[in-house]
Structure 1
């Protein structure tokens, strides 16, 4: 006879670090429910709380699987509405380097990266050396449990994988690693990424009162274009700006060509998802010249930003508008330096990113502070005019002003000089 599954499990997004998930258990057989949750990847952070935090950001997907498993065993489960919305939303990585993979195949790659992360975090995989090969973080390590294997790793977070070659001894693996990466080799594991640090902090545990006594802090939502706004902007372009001509080679595509024959904008009427490219804009060196630069804008991009790009192409300013960094600094956006890029963020709602060594996506402006789950994205290639970047930054700052922007103090006004009453004339006797 099995004990009755008399326990209740409530699932909700972590209030500070979504899409991580919190499970709160209650009832006489909650220990049994917690055992099943542990097998599903949840880790205990208190007597009644468990957390699921992953480096592949797939917590809602695996939470849904855990809830179904608990229901099969007879436990009562409850999923908060915000978490249910995340479960129902089939998102994709915005900059996934293997676009040919299906969603299930992407999850397989990410699950393997999660396994490697867990093996390192729990001491089953010992990292001896690491290096930067110019594109990825690479490492060499040995499994200390089970079949002893010595492997090379490449990539970070949800993209970390084992190389195909396994070595018979640690010495062979280390020697080959030194041969491949030479002076770039460094001892021990690479520093934790920001995502790894967040995951480990969440799994370290937070007092349960944090989740019960305090309401979740509302996240700052980036501005997003409403349905139909892009179509209206395109129609206004042809109705009010006579220098643009319309071509529609396909039912789903409209092309706007400028009278100078050096600028072209293509609009996809079928774009629906936040990662779908709605606009492709390019400028050329003369009517039959080479392309100077190009940009892509996804479906949720606010129309004010699209209008800024089109207006700049139609009538570029004669005088320089300064640098985008200067505009954002004056607007009070938060700067952050990374190994290969610089970002400016306004209250976690809009991010402006510069990757100086990139060609296709040298500049990016996107809604939110996480490119992988951005609400919308503008990508601009190398060669984009600095005046356009500055105008984009200015429009973004107006669209979402930073709450930390210092308010200038009023200048003290000089004290007013009191006017004396006019002299009273004296009468002569």
Structure 2
């Protein structure tokens, strides 16, 4: 047996005798190890479960926006505002919601056609006085616009500035400022002032003739989306004395959510109708309690 004075001498001797038979790397697998490796490979690696896909809200033209669940929107509004009460009627087709002051009222027609009037909001000076102003919305009105309207009813800020006041011109400017700032096209066609999105499928119209007649059945304001104002997919209409700030807030949400698009669910098919705005009955004398 050789003895060495240093590790270097030992490595040199090993290389001299065995250098031709030594291969770098790990030792080759034995037959048993090879069989085990082949068995593991045949089983394969379990496929990871894919993460659930959350679809992004679809961006669609404003006039094709799905209105959402209007009944659910009304129920949420009533649940969040205890000063509003739901009143039962003789028919399940309609729900009346009345503010505790009995000077603000909502009529909701549940099975209205998408282009028929499904909502009527009315304001009164006293519970037994004539109607001061009213606003209607069709059954296909998009949820963001409708929710803004109900939020305004809950807050009621600035409603002491009716559009039918002597400062009507200033009020029109106030109401349409969000549209002007959003770059909508302003045109004048006789008695009608119009603000239209560049796509021409969303707009707001002011009828100067109707604004001069507080008792007129013609709407002073029309907010719409669709092929044209004469054939709207949905429309919201307000009477002459509707509050300027309410119209301005609705115009603002329309301008913000349109850029001609609303983030919403896919469209529902709709048809056109020309049903006139219904009136809202006086507050019922008795209630059978609020529905849940």
TM range (shorter): 0.5 to 0.7
Aligned to 2:28: none
Deviations 1:299-353 (A, max 9, x none): 1101222222222222122598971222210011111211120111112232100
Question: How far did 1:221 drift?
Answer: 5.1
| Distance in 1, Cα, partners of 2:98 & 2:61 | 37
The 1:391–1:221 alpha-carbon spacing in structure 2 relative to 1, beyond 3 Å, is closer
Alignment RMSD (CA, Å)? 2.3
Q: How does 1:32-51 map to 2 (within 5 A)?
A: none
**Based on CA coordinates, which of the two structures has the bigger radius of gyration?**
2
Please name the residue that 2:7 is paired with.
none
Q: Which runs of 5+ in 2 are unaligned?
A: 1-59, 162-170, 211-215, 262-292
Instruction: Work out whether residues 224 and 375 of structure 1, in 8 Å CA contact, stay in contact via their aligned partners in 2.
Output: no
Pairing of 1:187-226 with structure 2 (within 5 A): 220=61, 222-226=63-67
1:384 pairs with 232, 242, 247, which one? 242
Q: 1:367-416: per-residue Cα shift (whole Å, max 9, x none)?
A: 1351222110111111001011111111101110269xxxxxxxxxxxxx
Count of residues paired in the alignment: 183
Q: What is the rounded CA distance, in whole Å, between the counterparts of 1:225 and 1:263 in structure 2?
A: 27
Checking the alignment, whether the CA contact within 8 Å between 1:294 and 1:380 is kept in structure 2 is yes
Q: TM-score, normalised by structure 1?
A: 0.40
Residue 105 of structure 2 corresponds to residue 268 of structure 1: no
- The structure, 1 or 2, with the larger RCO (C-alpha pairs under 8 Å, 6+ apart) is 2
The residue aligned with 2:152 is: 312
Once residues 158 and 135 of structure 2 are traced to their aligned partners in structure 1, the CA distance between those partners, rounded to angstroms, is: 22
Equivalent residues of 1:223, 1:302 under 8 A apart:
no
Label 1:397 to 1:323 Cα distance change in 2 as closer, same or farther (>3 A): same
Structure 1 residue 237 displacement after superposition: 1.3
Instruction: Answer yes or no: is the 8 Å Cα contact 1:258–1:314 preserved in 2.
Output: no
Pick aligned residue for 1:398 from 234, 252, 256 = 256
Q: For residues 193-213 of structure 1, what are the alpha-carbon distances to aligned partners after superposition, in whole Å with 9 as ceiling and x for unaligned?
A: xxxxxxxxxxxxxxxxxxxxx
1:372 is paired with a residue of what secondary structure? Answer: coil
Is 2:184 the partner of 1:333?
yes
What does residue 219 of structure 2 align with?
361
1:281 paired to 2:139: no
In structure 2, how many angstroms separate the alpha carbons of the residues matched to 1:394 and 1:220? 17
**Consecutive unaligned residues in structure 1, runs of 5 or more:** 1-218, 404-429
Superposition map of 1:30-429 within 5 A: 220=61, 222-227=63-68, 229-249=69-89, 250-271=91-112, 273-318=113-158, 323-346=174-197, 347-358=199-210, 359=216, 360-368=218-226, 370-401=228-259
TM value normalised by structure 2: 0.58
Aligned counterparts of 1:370 and 1:293: Cα–Cα separation in 2 = 26
